[in-house]
Structure 1
């Protein structure tokens, strides 16, 4: 590293800080970070201790702090002002962290759903499913939010508005991909819809929380159709013909999601129910 009388040249200081001479020149021009010394040769030199000034500037810049505000903070050397600025930036970082966590949850959910792509259409299979956390809206409550003659679009509006309201009230995050919960009928198949649901990121303590428990699930994928009534019938038939023991609710969810489901040929849904009779191999 090039040095002269213990000082660092602008090139050497830029290398130490992981930046460019152009950035240092800009910071000098606006009075944010000036070289510590100018030699007789007209060259500017930096003190190694100024590394920490540059590091502080970098941290503030990464949190979105305007350069003028950074300059006032560094030049003022006021502890109270610095504390207030750090607290403000900490709040910004926390908000950004939550936003990124939500984006990761939504994208991970979409990837997991689309990875069911190779599964054969309308063929019941068995697999282990991890537990899922749900925001579950009772069907009776939703019926009270809309007119009896409401169209499908009007019903969707009511459901999404209710999800938005509950997410805001309880501070939860969802991917807004809707599914239906069916109570089992006596004959072994799915009965009436008891809830509409959407997945949430984690377990939460609020009145609409429901867990889809982990376990071995009998499931069936329906592809290329929005009407999945044939899927319900095929799953029920398989349960009866194979004499399978099932427990709990039936779950129907959209796999194509907000990315692909606007075209019917891309539509993909899955119906699943938990098995009681052990981890049978996929058939």
Structure 2
């Protein structure tokens, strides 16, 4: 009756719902070794070790690394266990925050695309009042395509670092003076909307003022954008308005959603005032 019960590698693995290879791996790296070896060097584990391995598997399932586990098991006690669990909780909380941002980004992009595919008349112009918005911006100092891409990438990376890239897509901002001369391709800044109370002293802010904006869509390649601008500005004048602010271009359908450049879609908004 007093004989100790031993479990083979297979029996231990079956009891804990893991593979034999997992048990052997943990032995090979020195995490938990068999109590003794029987004939032909077969591993034999005690029931106490089954309980220990179950605890190790629990720690691994919550993300504790092999290195941290080894250090803990060599000098295990309740205080160190509490410290290890608290540290792991902090890591899990950060991961949850990261996943929540990803979820919001997915939801935001899906809702945007759902609205886009429901649009029936892409040439329709609407005049809509909008409240003031705050943007984080990156200046486009040069007009060439390479410089534009560098500015765009810089803003993308900065917004990701700050965790504000999920709410809104990046837009191109074209100055009023460039609209007046027909330089519609001349992006002054790339911008992304941020909360009004966002606290970060290291970002350059840009205020998109409240007021009435004329909205329309551009479908097709970027090379034909001037035609859409001419149509939009002509509509603005026809309805007794004049351009009194900047233009804001937002990609809705681009390389991510279409292989055909003729299916690319941008939303263009220009601030207007009554004559």
Same fold (TM over 0.5): yes
Pair 1:36–1:28, CA change in 2 (3 A)? same
Pair 1:164–1:245, CA change in 2 (3 A)? closer
Structure 1 unaligned residues grouped into runs of 5+: 278-283
> In the alignment, which residue of structure 1 is the partner of 2:16?
14
Per the TM alignment, residue 55 of structure 1 is displaced from its structure 2 partner at its CA by 1.3
Task: State whether residues 249 and 266 of structure 2, in contact with CA within 8 Å, keep that contact through their aligned partners in structure 1.
Answer: yes
Aligned to 1:10, what secondary structure does the other structure show?
Answer: helix
Aligned to 1:259, what secondary structure does the other structure show?
Answer: coil
Give deviations 1:142-181, integer Å, cap 9, x for gaps.
44xx4xxx5x22331452365378x29x846547844225
Distance in 1, Cα, partners of 2:35 & 2:194:
51
RMSD across aligned positions (CA): 5.5
Which segment is superposed worse, 174-183 or 238-247? Answer: 238-247
Give the length in aligned residue pairs.
251
Pair 1:112–1:156, CA change in 2 (3 A)? farther
Task: State whether residues 180 and 197 of structure 1, in contact with CA within 8 Å, keep that contact through their aligned partners in structure 2.
Answer: yes
Distance in 2, Cα, partners of 1:33 & 1:126:
70
Task: State whether residues 179 and 253 of structure 1, in contact with CA within 8 Å, keep that contact through their aligned partners in structure 2.
Answer: yes
Structure 2 unaligned residues grouped into runs of 5+: 38-42
Is 1:60 matched with 2:63? Answer: yes
Task: State whether residues 184 and 229 of structure 2, in contact with CA within 8 Å, keep that contact through their aligned partners in structure 1.
Answer: no
Matches within 5 A, 1:256-267: 256-260=253-257, 263-267=260-264
Normalising by structure 2, report the TM-score: 0.59
> In the alignment, which residue of structure 2 is the partner of 1:160?
152
Per the TM alignment, residue 241 of structure 1 is displaced from its structure 2 partner at its CA by 4.1
> In the alignment, which residue of structure 1 is the partner of 2:40?
none
Task: State whether residues 62 and 88 of structure 2, in contact with CA within 8 Å, keep that contact through their aligned partners in structure 1.
Answer: no
Task: State whether residues 183 and 194 of structure 1, in contact with CA within 8 Å, keep that contact through their aligned partners in structure 2.
Answer: no
Matches within 5 A, 1:232-243: 232-242=229-239
Per the TM alignment, residue 56 of structure 1 is displaced from its structure 2 partner at its CA by 1.6
